[in-house]
Structure 1
Amino acid sequence: MLALAACTPDSTAPSPAAADAPTASPSATPTATPSVTPAAAATSTPPSPSPSPSPSSAATTQFSLTDPTSPWVVVNKHRPLNPQNYVPADLVQPKIRLAVSGEATLLNSTTAAAAEKMFGAAAAEGVIMTLASGYRSYSTQITTYNGYVTSSGQAAADHASARPGYSEHQTGWSFDISDGGGACSFQPCFADQPAAVWAKANAHKYGFVVRYPWMFHEITGYYYESWHLRYIGVEAATAMASQGIATLEEYFGLEAAPDYLA
């Protein structure tokens, strides 16, 4: 299956299952925005089978959907980061198993703390999980995206790599996992590996969701990425899991973003 992807760790030739590179600098204590609701942020109704609940009905604390320091910031093909060259102010290296080096080992401090708890819980159950790709700067994403454009053209690049300023990895709220052995890394078959199976069932307990779920590419803009986890907080992640809501777009009442607007 040829996959549109949001998680490309480098600028090598396009891979059918890897493509996103975000840049973000969430603070350890995100700024709450009590008045924000999905209805206020939406410009159209997403193509979901049932109405999306307002976060206010599922979470007691509300956060901004546009501030990159917010755990609820939504970054997709319709919603670039503002500023586009945003850099998280509190990047740290979590105390977990690493499969990368350099800036890719970094997360914002809130996400790092939650990741340490989640990786520890997985290890306690005999599941090996490693950090395969964390923070990616705006400049790194420029290099990655331009590499795709040079090798395959812009149309193909837009289906393989997030444009600079449109990647969740830049926020520090997202990261990719692997199993420590490289089995099916950044490939569709990773969904069947123990690390991905465990994360899908348990990540919400630590505040994470699988950002690009199976068969929701017409909403998220990317095919299934079982390795890409996104922190939104335990309360919101648990609400999504318990209510069977698959995407942030649906949960927050935002329009689908299958393609860039221009």
Structure 2
Amino acid sequence: MKRRAFLAGGGALLLAGCTSTPTPATTPDASATAATAEPTPSPTPEASTKTPATPPPDERSGEGLAVPYEVDGIIVVSPAHRVSAAYVPAWAERPNGLHPDAAAGFTALAAAAQADGLALSLRSGYRSYATQKASFERALRTYPEETARRYYAEPGASEHQTGLSLDAWDGSNRGSAFARTPQAAWLAAHATTHGFIVRYPQDKTTITGYAWESWHLRWVGTEVSAAFAPDPSLTLEEFLGLA
């Protein structure tokens, strides 16, 4: 399948990433967790065709990149590809700080869930570097360090800083409690139809760096998300050839 990159500020739609911020639940709640049986894996679509683009040295800072790392126009923010406090997306001041296409995509997704009798709302969207720093430090004080690092991103390693990721929930359940809801199963099955992927699938911690977060959605657009539909357990790293 041919992939086309849509860049968000210069005439294209940005496809970016981040991690959730939990609130104690059986599983620390980076916002909520989704439970669904893993589908039968299918081959990673054309992962080997991706050519990672390394930002020029002058874009780097001691904490991360001033401009996010990209592969074929798809932004990657992760423990391996960080952004600095200087990075603030152009849409940060919009409602929930989401890219307009991500916001519209979630509106459509929530409406589709409602049509199926399920309530879904947005619990968390854009988070600044400073907000993520405070969240991560609070997590380290609250949980054992290993647990905190599996569910909370360090500042600069969170997709939420891009405004292309969000945490969905049913209005009451968070963490592992959300994973047992029909909303979690619905997202695993239908998020790709509306341009999203579940960014941190089950049993992929060694690849993503984070525990399963069924609530954490990443906007990539319907053209890219279609490649994830046959196997929702596919990670962005695998798809882009970074795993």
TM-score for both structures, normalised by structure 1:
0.66
Alpha-carbon spacing, 1:88–1:69, altered in 2? closer, same or farther (3 Å): farther
The answer as to whether partners of 1:63 and 1:72 remain within 8 angstroms in 2 is no
Q: Which residue of 2 aligns with 1:213?
A: 201
The answer as to whether partners of 2:127 and 2:161 remain within 8 angstroms in 1 is yes
Q: CA deviation at 1:87?
A: 1.2
- 1:120 equivalent to 2:111? Answer yes
Question: 2:29 aligned to 18, 22, 39, which one?
Answer: 18
Greater mean deviation of Cα atoms: 191-200 or 218-227: 191-200
Q: Distance in 2 between matches of 1:151 and 1:164?
A: 17
Supply the AA of the counterpart residue of 2:155.
P
Q: Distance in 2 between matches of 1:110 and 1:65?
A: 26
Supply the AA of the counterpart residue of 2:130.
S
Supply the AA of the counterpart residue of 2:160.
H
Supply the AA of the counterpart residue of 1:86.
Y
The answer as to whether partners of 1:212 and 1:224 remain within 8 angstroms in 2 is yes
Q: Which residue of 2 aligns with 1:88?
A: 89
Q: CA deviation at 1:69?
A: 9.6
Q: Which residue of 1 aligns with 2:21?
A: 8
Q: CA deviation at 1:251?
A: 0.4
1:225-240 matched pairs, under 5 angstroms: 225-240=213-228
Aligned pair count reads 203
Q: Which residue of 1 aligns with 2:97?
A: 106
TM-score for both structures, normalised by structure 2:
0.71
Q: Which residue of 2 aligns with 1:191?
A: 179
1:40-119 matched pairs, under 5 angstroms: 52-54=44-46, 68=68, 72-81=74-83, 83-91=84-92, 92-93=94-95, 105-119=96-110
Alpha-carbon spacing, 1:253–1:124, altered in 2? closer, same or farther (3 Å): same
Q: Which residue of 1 aligns with 2:9?
A: none
- Any unmatched runs of 5+ in structure 2? 1-17, 32-40, 56-66
Q: Which residue of 1 aligns with 2:160?
A: 169
Supply the AA of the counterpart residue of 1:222.
Y
The answer as to whether partners of 1:19 and 1:162 remain within 8 angstroms in 2 is no
The SS at the match of 2:90 is coil
Task: String of CA shifts for 1:152-173, please: whole Å, max 9, x gaps.
Answer: 5765543342110100111111
The answer as to whether partners of 2:198 and 2:232 remain within 8 angstroms in 1 is no
Q: Distance in 1 between matches of 2:130 and 2:155?
A: 8
Q: CA deviation at 1:50?
A: 8.2
Q: Which residue of 2 aligns with 1:45?
A: none
The answer as to whether partners of 1:208 and 1:232 remain within 8 angstroms in 2 is yes
Q: Distance in 2 between matches of 1:202 and 1:248?
A: 17
- Any unmatched runs of 5+ in structure 1? 21-48, 94-104, 256-262
